[in-house]
Amino acid sequence: MSNETTFSRRALFMKLGILFNGLVATAMAVPVVRFLLSSITRGRANAYLAWVPLGSVSAFPEGETRLATFRNPNVMPTDGKTVNTACWVRRVVGDQFQVFAVNCAHLGCPVRWFPQSALFMCPCHGGAYYRDGSRASGPPERGLFEYPYKVENGLVIIQAGELPTTGAPTASLFGKKPPCAG
Amino acid sequence: MRRLITRVGEWFDRRLQLAAPIREAAEHPVPRNTASWWYVFGSAALTVFVLQLVTGILLAMIYVPSASEAWSSLQSLNHDVTLGWFIRALHGWGSNFMVAIVLIHMAQVFLFGAYKFPRELTWIIGVFLLLMTLGMAFTGQVLRFDQDAYWGLGIGASIASRVPIIGPLAVKLMLGGPIIAGATLSRFFALHVFVIPGMLIGLVCLHLWMVLKLGINEWPMPGRVVKKATYENEYHALTKKDGAPFVPYAVWKDMFFAAFILLAVAACAVYFGPFGPTGRPDPTIIQTAPKPDYFFLWLYAILSLLPPSMETPALLIGPVVAIMVLLLLPFLSGEGEKSWRRRPIAVLTILLIAISLGTLTHLSGYTPWSPHMNAWSGDPVPDQFLRGTTALQRQGALVFQVKQCRNCHSLGEAGGQRGPALDSVAVRLTRDQLIRQVIQGGGNMPAYGKNLSPSETTALVAFLETLRPPNQAPARNAALGVTQQTHTPAQP
The string of pLDDT tens digits covering residues B315-371 is 889 999 999 999 999 999 999 999 999 999 999 999 999 999 999 999 988 888 888
Q: What is the mean pLDDT of chain A?
A: 86
Confidence of residue A182 (pLDDT cuts 50, 70, 90): very low
Residues of A in contact with B445 (CB under 8 A): 137
pLDDT, position B385:
87
Give how far B190 is from chain A: nearest CA, Å. 12
pLDDT, position A4:
55
* Chain A touched by B278 (CB under 8 Å): no
Confidence of residue A177 (pLDDT cuts 50, 70, 90): very low
Instruction: Average the pLDDT over each of A80-94, B46-60, B88-102, B475-489 and give the range with the smallest value.
Output: B475-489
Indicate the residue of A103, A168, A169 with minimum beta-carbon distance to B154.
A103
Which region holds residue B177: left if phi is over 0, alpha if psi is between -120 and 50, else beta?
left
DSSP state of A74: -
Q: Please enumerate, as own/partner, the contacts of B84-89 that have beta carbons within 8 Å and a separation of 24 or more.
A: B85/B273, B85/B274, B86/B269, B86/B270, B86/B274, B87/B55, B87/B58, B87/B59, B88/B59, B88/B274, B88/B275, B89/B268, B89/B269, B89/B270, B89/B272, B89/B273, B89/B274, B89/B275
pLDDT, position A46:
65
Check if the beta carbon of residue B130 is closer than 8 Å to that of residue B45.
Answer: no
Q: What is the mean pLDDT of chain B?
A: 91
Q: Say whether pLDDT at B243 is over 80.
A: yes
What does the pLDDT look like over B132-161, one tens digit per residue? 999 999 999 999 999 999 999 999 999 999
pLDDT, position A181:
35
- Confidence (pTM): 0.89
Percent of chain B with pLDDT over 70: 98
Q: CA of A34: which chain B residue's CA is closest?
A: B173
pLDDT, position A170:
57
Residues of B in contact with A181 (CB under 8 A): none
**Whether B371 and A128 lie within 8 Å, measured CB to CB:** yes
Confidence of residue B487 (pLDDT cuts 50, 70, 90): low
**Whether A162 and B283 lie within 8 Å, measured CB to CB:** no
Q: Which helix (H) or strand (E) holds A34?
A: helix A9-36
**Whether B370 and A125 lie within 8 Å, measured CB to CB:** yes
Give how far B381 is from chain A: nearest CA, Å. 17
* Chain A touched by B401 (CB under 8 Å): no
Residues of A in contact with B280 (CB under 8 A): 81
Q: A-contacting residues of B 18-77, CB under 8 Å?
A: 66-69
Confidence of residue A180 (pLDDT cuts 50, 70, 90): very low
Q: CA of B445: which chain A residue's CA is closest?
A: A137
pLDDT, position A6:
62
What does the pLDDT look like over B276-327, one tens digit per residue? 899 999 999 988 888 888 888 998 888 888 888 888 888 889 999 999 999 9
Residues of B in contact with A35 (CB under 8 A): none
Give the residue-averaged pLDDT of B17-43.
92
* Chain A touched by B453 (CB under 8 Å): no
Confidence of residue A148 (pLDDT cuts 50, 70, 90): very high
> SS3 for chain B, per residue?
CHHHHHHHHHHHHHHHCCHHHHHHHHCCEEEHHHCCHHHCHHHHHHHHHHHHHHHHHHHHCCCCCCCCCHHHHHHHHHHCCCCHHHHHHHHHHHHHHHHHHHHHHHHHHHHCCCCCCCCHHHHHHHHHHHHHHHHHHHHHHHHCCCHHHHHHHHHHHHHHHCCCCCHHHHHHHHHCCCCCCHHHHHHHHHHHHHHHHHHHHHHHHHHHHHHHHHCCCCCCCCCCCECCCCHHHHHHHHHHHHEEEHHHHCHHHHHHHHHHHHHHHHHHHHHHCCCCCCCCCCCCCCCCCCCCCHHHHHHHHHHHHCCHHHHHHHHHHHHHHHHHHHHHHHHHCCCECCCHHHCHHHHHHHHHHHHHHHHHHHHHHHCCCCCCCCHHHHCCCCHHHCCCCCHHHHHHHHHHHHCCHHHCCEECCEECCCCCCCCCHHHHCCHHHHHHHHHHCECCECCCHHHCCHHHHHHHHHHHCCCCCCCCCCCCCHHHHHHHHHHCCCCC
- Mean pLDDT highest for which of A54-58, B47-51, B250-254? B47-51
Give the residue-averaged pLDDT of B405-409.
89
Strand partners, A113: A120
Give how far A6 is from chain B: nearest CA, Å. 36
pLDDT, position A171:
56
Confidence of residue A44 (pLDDT cuts 50, 70, 90): low
pLDDT, position A167:
73
**Whether B168 and A76 lie within 8 Å, measured CB to CB:** no
pLDDT higher for B487 or B234?
B234
Q: What's the rounded Cα separation, in Å, for the pair B424 and B249?
A: 66
Residues of B in contact with A137 (CB under 8 A): 441, 444-446
Query: Apex CA B187: angle with CA A50 and CA B169, to 5°?
Result: 50
**Whether A116 and B403 lie within 8 Å, measured CB to CB:** yes
Give how far A93 is from chain B: nearest CA, Å. 17
ipTM of the complex: 0.88
What domains are there in chain B, each with its CATH number? 29-366 (1.20.810.10), 375-477 (1.10.760.10)
Q: Say whether pLDDT at A179 is over 50.
A: no
